[in-house]
Each structure stands twice: as structure tokens, then as C-alpha cells.
Amino acid sequence: MLQQRTAFIHPAGIFLLCITGLTACKQNHESNTAGFAGTPLEYPVSDVKLVEASGIADSKANPGYLWVEQDSGNPPDLTLLQHNGTVLKSVHLANAVNRDWEDMVLAPGPDPHKQYLYIAETGDNLIRYDDYAIYRLEEPAAATDTVQQVDKIAFFYPDGSHNAEAILVDPDTKDIYIITKTDLHSKLFKLKYPYSTVEMNSVEEVGALPYNYATSAALSPNGRELVVKTYEAIYMYPRTAGETIVQTLSKPYTTLPYQQEPQGEAIVFDNNDSGYYTLSEKGLASSVNLYFYKRTK
């Protein structure tokens, strides 16, 4: 059994702490390795230009493919990557700028009959920007070459600049959650729906996690599992129906299997809920692999 500390820090200053074994807070924090294969399936990525992946989403419009984004220094394009690592094509986003794209999720949006990609323009390694954005677009079909309609949801942090690489979209409320990376504890900010695509939005700090260097986050297709990925671990939180993201992240977590990557910044559950994918930037490695951790129960 893991002696794993779990905590959630509320912005009002209340610090909730649980340590396995303490009488005051008896909660089990076991490794969830039994639920997923400890050794992932490995798929070499075919395109040598796909070396700075910072976010992935499992496509619903194009089953069997992942959407991949790359971070700063790359054009505002999305890559359609087959589950076996083969690159199909790139799709250009008109009127979008890739200052420093990070995480990406596929989630509900304004039209209840459609799915939307949310791209986090939230990277800020030098902590120098005053505002940030989430780009939102209807999920493209594979035949699309250029997406003309891209919404920009601009926002700022009330307490100053942050470097953030993980986002979540609550499928019930459409609220967007941003998780910072390089604070002492990864802070959690909420962008409440409905948000403006014309005026600047302000986000609200709603808590913090007991670790930092969050690089990606994802919800399972049925909404019952939430994962936060760092460079060294994947933390999984159980989620019940009707629960807010803040409530879920206040719970104890378990760790999922993870094979160390050169610079792993992306995670997503597959749409069949049969496992999860991770993808890394190339870093100093000779090549890039797509990994799939199959669910075993």
C-alpha cells in the first residue's frame, strides 16, 4: 500500500490534509496498477516533425485517430494521428496564433449536438504575459484542411501571470478549469460558463493541488475518473455523477502506471474507455512513441 499524502488547498487558506494511517483521516491510497496494464503498448510516431506534442484528444468525428497539438514555435495546426502512430494529415486553424499551446480537450460546447476542441493558449515559461486564451472550435472532419471559425476565449489571472499546461472542461457545466504548472503547488482556476468570446474574462482561483508540474489533465468518457499528469506520475481521482471538478480534486488520489517519457506532456482516455494514451515531446530522445495503457478490469 502506498503511503501517499493527499491534500487540497482552498484559496481561503484552509489546508485539508490526509495521510494514510493517521487515525484522524483514514483513507486508502493504493496504486491502481491492477486496473491498467503496467507495460504500455508502444507505437512509433511516423512523422519526424511531430516532436513537440503538448496536448492530445481522442477524436469522435474520426474514430481511431487522435488530435495532436504542438507548442510554441509551431504553426497553429492540429495533426490527426492514427492510434498506431501513423500521421494522416494536419489541419490549419485560421485566425489563431500559437504563442505557446499546451493542453487540449474534446468536450461539449455551445451546440449540444456537437463536440468541440478546446486548446489551451496558457504556456508562459518566463511568467511575462498579462493575458491568455482558450481556443474553441467544432471538431473537424478528416477531410477538413482549414478551420475558419475559431473562438478565442481570452482571460487573465487576478493575481498576475502563471505558467499553465493542463486544462479540463466540466461536461455538465462547460466551466473551464486551468491547472498551473510551476507554482509551489499547482493552482486551480475556474473560468465560469458562459464566457465571452469578445471581451476579456477573469478566472477565479478555487484551490490548489499537493504537487506541481501538472502538464495535462483528462476526464474518462463516462466522467467517473479524472487524471492529472506530471512529468513523473499520473494521479487518478474517482468522480461521482453531479460532482464538480473542485469536489473531485478534493478527494484522495491513486497513481496509475506510467513509463517515463523524455518530456511527457499529454494524456487522454480513449473514447471506448478501454485505456489511456500518453504522448511526449521528443526532448533529447532519438524518436517519439505513442503509448497506450490498456484497462485490465
- Each residue of 252-289: pLDDT tens digit? 999 999 999 999 999 999 999 999 999 999 888 888 99
pLDDT attached to residue 31: 53
Average pLDDT (93-108) is: 98
pLDDT attached to residue 286: 85
pLDDT attached to residue 48: 86
Q: What is the pLDDT of residues 165-202, one digit of tens each?
A: 999 999 999 999 999 999 999 999 999 999 999 999 99
Average pLDDT along the chain: 90
pLDDT attached to residue 152: 99
Whether the Cβ atoms of residue 236 and residue 261 lie closer than 8 Å to each other:
no
Confidence check: pLDDT of 28 > 60: no
Residue with cell 466522467: 223
Average pLDDT (145-159) is: 98
pLDDT attached to residue 215: 98
The answer to which of 28-32, 48-52, 54-58, 186-190 has the lowest mean pLDDT is 28-32
Task: Spell out the domains of the chain, with CATH numbers in brackets.
Answer: 5-294 (2.115.10)
pLDDT attached to residue 29: 44
Confidence check: pLDDT of 19 > 50: no
Cell of 275: 485505456
Whether the Cβ atoms of residue 100 and residue 72 lie closer than 8 Å to each other:
yes
Beta bridge partners of 41: 292
What are the CB-based long-range contacts (under 8 Å, 24+) for 205-208? 205/11, 205/157, 205/158, 205/159, 206/10, 206/11, 206/177, 206/246, 207/8, 207/9, 207/10, 207/11, 207/246, 207/249, 207/250, 208/8, 208/9, 208/11, 208/183
Average pLDDT (224-232) is: 97
Residue 250, CB-side half-sphere exposure with 13 Å CA sphere: 14
- Report residue 8's pLDDT band, with 50, 70 and 90 as the boundaries: low
Confidence check: pLDDT of 3 > 60: no
Confidence check: pLDDT of 10 > 80: no
The answer to which of 12-21, 39-48, 100-109 has the lowest mean pLDDT is 12-21
Average pLDDT (27-48) is: 78
Confidence check: pLDDT of 225 > 90: yes
Rounded CA gap, 160 and 283, in Å? 29
Q: What is the pLDDT of residues 198-217, one digit of tens each?
A: 999 999 999 999 999 999 99
Rounded CA gap, 31 and 180, in Å? 25
pLDDT attached to residue 15: 37
